[in-house]
Structure 1
Amino acid sequence: MTIGQTASKTKAVLLAAAVLALPTAVRAAPADTYYERAFVVAADARCNLFAPNIEAALAAATAQARGAALRSGTAEAELAAAATRARARAGTVSCADPQLATVRARVDGAFSGWLRTPRMVFPGARRPWTANRVSSADASWRLQQMSVVGASPVAFGYAGKGEAHGLVAVVSFVGRSRPNAARIVLRDPVRVPRPWLAGEGLVPVSARASIWATGVDAADLTLLAEDRRAGEAWRFPASVATAIERLDPRETFAIEFHFRDGSVATAKFEAGDFAAGRAFLAMGLI
């Protein structure tokens, strides 16, 4: 490839990125959208293009594009290769390139709207993640997915008061019996490096990793399902978030509630766009 061809291709990438990096872009194929957003992220890392809040919005949009590409059937290996190409291309662009300035201006303009967005729903194949950036003195959900075990509703995600929030599972069990322990179970990437999408979705017991809850309290009323008056809030360590983000968005993880009689109640969840939801929250409360 000649120098002129390289320059022309770089310009085309920059102009495409100026459009495809926008959060509302739908004209491109999901894999192409992911590539262009990954390119902008890499260019920002190299040239420090955006303020931290715009970087958080861009990270959310990039994670969202990755999830959409995987759900559309794009292979994980193809997306990894696309990210590598995006970083390589960004490494060849001058930070003083006027087209990069165009990308910066358009991304700033587009994502400034996200900064004013109080809530977002990140759809999944079966269950969505709902994100909420509205400041509240009462306990509230910041990022939530709903599930059920038997007749008992279970919610999982980030919840808390004000700026403080942590990972919790809130459950309202029907009847008097209450669990004495809870844990997250999900694919162990050491034992099974590839996404597990077979059967009912949850990886076999022999290939699971587990992370136990660190404690339990009575749940705040504002965190309960609409028709419930009491429930428990099980607290989980921050390492759970990293473990979920390692999953393919189409994968299933579960929360097991263990009872004194040896029985286990299992609520299933979808990894989905958990990473995108976390990045959306990183923009801060409004």
Structure 2
Amino acid sequence: MQLKVTHYHVDRSVATITLNRPERLNAWTGRMHTEYRWCLQQAETDPAVRVIVITGAGRGFCAGADARALEGHIQKGSYDPGTPADIPKPGFGVRPEFDADFAYHFGLAKPTIAAINGPAAGVGLVLACYCDIRFAAAGAKLTTAHGRLGLPAEYGLSWLLPRLIGLAPAMELLLSSRIFLAEEAHRLGLVHQVHPAPELMPAVYHYAHHLARTIAPSSLRETRRQVYADLHRDVASSVADAQRLLDQLATGPDFREGVAALLQKREPNFLPLTPSRTPPPAN
């Protein structure tokens, strides 16, 4: 695919997807969504990639839906996502609950880190919330935004945000659509770390490469899928699935390497994930 509004780059074991419309603060369009999912698919299928970083070009992360696209919805008399029927589907097919826009992040095998380098509004905040981990630049402005446009909470944010930060603070942010800063997001637990803007990406990459270097890729895959599956099931089912995975992974190469590294007091050297090392998802 020819990338016009995103950029994709791999450095060792970390892939970076950059939303690339800096003149529009990386406002979201159907084209961007299509390219973004294509980039995710490249990272997902590349055995060398272990962690995915998502950020924005210039001084913004993603300022929400493009205003011109919003105007187009009015003219058409309905909402048009602007995506093709054959849009890539990374993360699909793992669990039925994940087979939807943005929920597909939960089906990925590799962790995602949002590097919120500037404003994240509406669908931009949605994208950040669907990532596993969030770093933000000091003073970055965030907002759910939908209320000021007369729209509902977008793409399951009404389901996700209360689970990330609790019902009461999520309700306030969703109802008010007010702007809040990265520092408040950190106090609420929505953002894991806040750094001065020039230090943000070095901090993100330090964390990403450490994760890629020291944590078994099979463990990253199964742990994040356990967490997201557990949002939909009871504790006994979670325990049973954990036992199934324990039996499975304890016979694998990552476990053998992890134990050897522990005994030898060195960093582990885990093998990349390959299709042969990816078991079918549990029902």
TM superposition score category, shorter chain reference: under 0.3
Q: Which has the higher strand share?
A: 1
Q: Which has the higher helix share?
A: 2
Larger radius of gyration: 1
Larger RCO: Structure 1 or Structure 2 (Cα < 8 Å, ≥ 6 residues apart)? 1
TM-score, normalisation: structure 2: 0.27
TM-score, normalisation: structure 1: 0.26
